[in-house]
């Protein structure tokens, strides 16, 4: 029996994942509702976390690498005085402290965790250690020693104290940062312990929570059929990449995997701007009538196709 290919839906959905489902379950729910043939996501969210989960449909899955390195913004609550196996509320408590940090201590701590810092990922994470996932090793009772690595914290703000045991923070991070590790390390730096008790992702690159689609996992698919109306264009995640406008003939050449020469007056001016910005030799987005045709590499006044989008724009 031939496998059903699914509907040719191409673009992005800015999903607001609720607490509870995994990112994989969210993908499955979107696939069943939209009927899309291919579905992927950028940036896993733990079941504990809610918020922005960008989901790619169809040919948009080819652009996932261009959003994975985007900055992310989180609002999270730290529960003071307890260390857990997972560095969040879902783990077992393994250490206690009666100490609670004061407001002055919290303010003084912020610069220490801002900028380029070193961070050891949580033992319960998806990082591969000698071919095995770290969380599999931890669940088997043999947690790996997690080596520190550099991460970039662009912004860290203390928002409020909910009560003596809980403080709320907002952080803007670069690639590879773990909020659970940040909560753990902040607690230790303040002479106590800490773990994440609540976590919400407010933004991933161009995707923001205020514009996200809140998916009700208890509703019937027929009740949320309007989800497809929220599909954003493929080029949504490529706003920061230089764009090359094509003619119909040039677009067709790229679709066939052929290079396109950039020798017209318009192209020469565009190339001059690209060189002035130091982007010569890099990846750019090729467009026809404002729609994404391919990702191309510019080399010696030629556009060489790197990733072609196989859909009718």
**163 pLDDT tier (thresholds 50, 70, 90):** very high
What are 284's strand-pairing partners?
296
pLDDT digits (tens, 9 = 90+) for 23-49: 999 999 888 888 888 999 888 888 999
Q: Is pLDDT larger for residue 37 or for residue 166? A: 166
- Domains observed in the chain: 11-69+206-236 (3.30.2350.10), 72-204 (3.30.2350.10), 241-308 (2.30.130.10)
Q: What is the pLDDT of residue 220?
A: 61
Q: What is the pLDDT of residue 2?
A: 42
Both structure tokens of 308: 């072609």
Average pLDDT of span 127-136: 63
Both structure tokens of 112: 């220490």
Residue 296, pLDDT > 60, answer: yes
DSSP state, residue 120:
P
Average pLDDT of span 96-124: 92
In whole angstroms, give the CA distance from residue 277 to residue 299: 15
| Phi then psi dihedrals of residue 230, to 5 deg | -100, 15
Residues 35, 207, 43, 280, Cα dihedral to 10°: 110
**18 pLDDT tier (thresholds 50, 70, 90):** very high
In whole angstroms, give the CA distance from residue 35 to residue 255: 25
In whole angstroms, give the CA distance from residue 309 to residue 149: 35
Q: What is the pLDDT of residue 313?
A: 67
**DSSP element (H, E) containing 311:** none
Question: If 0-12 CB within 10 Å is exposed, 13-18 middle and 19+ buried, where does residue 195 land?
Answer: buried
CA distances from 200 to 96, 98, 160, 204 (A): 25, 27, 15, 12
Handedness of CA 41, 42, 44, 50 (dihedral sign): negative
Residue 1, pLDDT > 50, answer: no
Average pLDDT of span 146-170: 93
Q: Which of the residues are catalytic?
A: 46
CA distances from 216 to 222, 239, 254, 291 (A): 12, 29, 40, 31
């Amino acid at each position: 029996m031939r496998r059903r290919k699914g509907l040719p839906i191409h673009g992005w959905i800015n999903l607001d994942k609720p607490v509870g489902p995994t990112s994989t379950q969210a993908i499955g729910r979107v696939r069943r509702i939209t009927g899309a043939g291919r579905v992927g996501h950028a940036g896993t969210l733990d079941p504990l976390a809610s918020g922005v989960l960008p989901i790619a449909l169809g040919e948009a899955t080819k652009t996932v690498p261009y959003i994975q390195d985007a900055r992310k913004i989180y609002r999270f609550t730290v529960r003071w005085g307890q260390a857990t196996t997972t560095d969040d509320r879902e783990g077992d408590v393994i250490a206690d402290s009666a100490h609670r940090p004061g407001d002055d201590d919290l303010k003084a701590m912020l610069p220490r965790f801002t900028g380029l810092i070193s961070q050891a990922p949580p033992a319960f994470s998806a990082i591969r250690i000698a071919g095995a996932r770290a969380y599999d090793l931890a669940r088997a009772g043999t947690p790996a020693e997690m080596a520190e690595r550099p991460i970039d914290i662009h912004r860290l703000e203390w928002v409020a104290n909910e009560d003596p045991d809980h403080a709320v923070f907002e952080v803007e991070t670069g690639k590879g940062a773990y909020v659970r590790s940040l909560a753990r390390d902040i607690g230790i730096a303040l002479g106590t312990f800490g773990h994440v008790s609540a976590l919400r992702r407010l933004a991933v690159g161009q995707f923001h929570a205020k514009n996200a689609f809140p998916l009700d996992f208890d509703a019937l698919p027929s009740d949320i059929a309007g989800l497809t109306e929220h599909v954003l264009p493929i080029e949504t995640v490529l706003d920061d990449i230089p764009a090359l406008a094509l003619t119909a003939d040039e677009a067709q050449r790229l679709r066939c995997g052929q290079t396109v020469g950039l020798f017209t007056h318009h192209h020469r001016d565009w190339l001059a701007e690209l060189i002035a910005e130091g982007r010569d030799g890099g990846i750019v987005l090729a467009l026809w009538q404002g729609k994404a045709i391919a990702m191309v590499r510019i080399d010696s006044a030629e556009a060489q196709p790197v990733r072609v989008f196989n859909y009718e724009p």
